[in-house]
A and B are shown apart, each in its own frame.
Chain A
Amino acid sequence: DTEVTQTPKHLVMGMTNKKSLKCEQHMGHRAMYWYKQKAKKPPELMFVYSYEKLSINESVPSRFSPECPNSSLLNLHLHALQPEDSALYLCASSPSDRGYGYTFGSGTRLTVV
């Protein structure tokens, strides 16, 4: 298995909802990442987990809460989002904390209404 799998592919949620994005990889990668990408913009780093520990949090609002239950899974819990949070959320993984060899998932297209 050489893929990063993200679910759901599309999500529409209201500003009072709570939802979660899921990411899974079975390549034995020990670093996992969440990126946010707005239309016609580059991906922006949100969180980095290295060996299941949060190592980077790029000053992301607390309405986004990451979780890494084990080395294969990464979640992003969403609560009280704003319409400007609508974007493509990309998960990625790399073999180690060296950062080489990123693999991106297909992303979750999130719309906040």
Chain B
Amino acid sequence: GENVEQHPSTLSVQEGDSAVIKCTYSDSASNYFPWYKQELGKRPQLIIDIRSNVGEKKDQRIAVTLNKTAKHFSLHITETQPEDSAVYFCAASNPGGGADGLTFGKGTHLIIQP
């Protein structure tokens, strides 16, 4: 089955600086890579996703890059703000293989220092 590794487990950055979270996956058949933000006591919320036919995707301050050859993908948050503080999960799946769940990384606790 798929295995997703995520680093770092905790990331503290100054407000206004950039944050980068990295994930690697094991199953070369995986082709869908979403990122979720989860605030304490709340549901995971999709913030951005990328499919394997694209190398990079951007949405305002958030961007995701994908390197299929190396089997890794990264989340980039620029101009961080206090409301970006949360736990971020990367995930991978192979939707083309039929209904499938997401395999999550262990999460990164992002702390934005004022």
For the complex, give the distance between the alpha carbons of A80 and B99 in Å. 29
Count, chain B residues at interface, CB 8 A: 26
Q: Is A90 an interface residue (CB 8 A)?
A: yes
Is A50 a contact partner of B102 (Cβ separation < 8 A)? no
| Cα distance A100–B45 in the bound complex, in angstroms | 14
8 Å CB contacts to A: which residues of B80-103? 87, 89, 93-96, 98-103
Interfacial chain B residues near A90, Cβ < 8 Å: 43-44
B interface residues, Cβ below 8 angstroms from A: 32, 34, 36, 42-46, 49, 51, 87, 89, 93-96, 98-107
**A interface, CB within 8 angstroms of B:** 31, 33, 35, 40-45, 48-50, 55-56, 58, 90, 97-107
Shortest 10 CB-CB contacts between residues of A and residues of B:
A50-B99, A99-B95, A45-B101, A42-B104, A97-B99, A98-B95, A104-B43, A31-B99, A55-B99, A99-B93
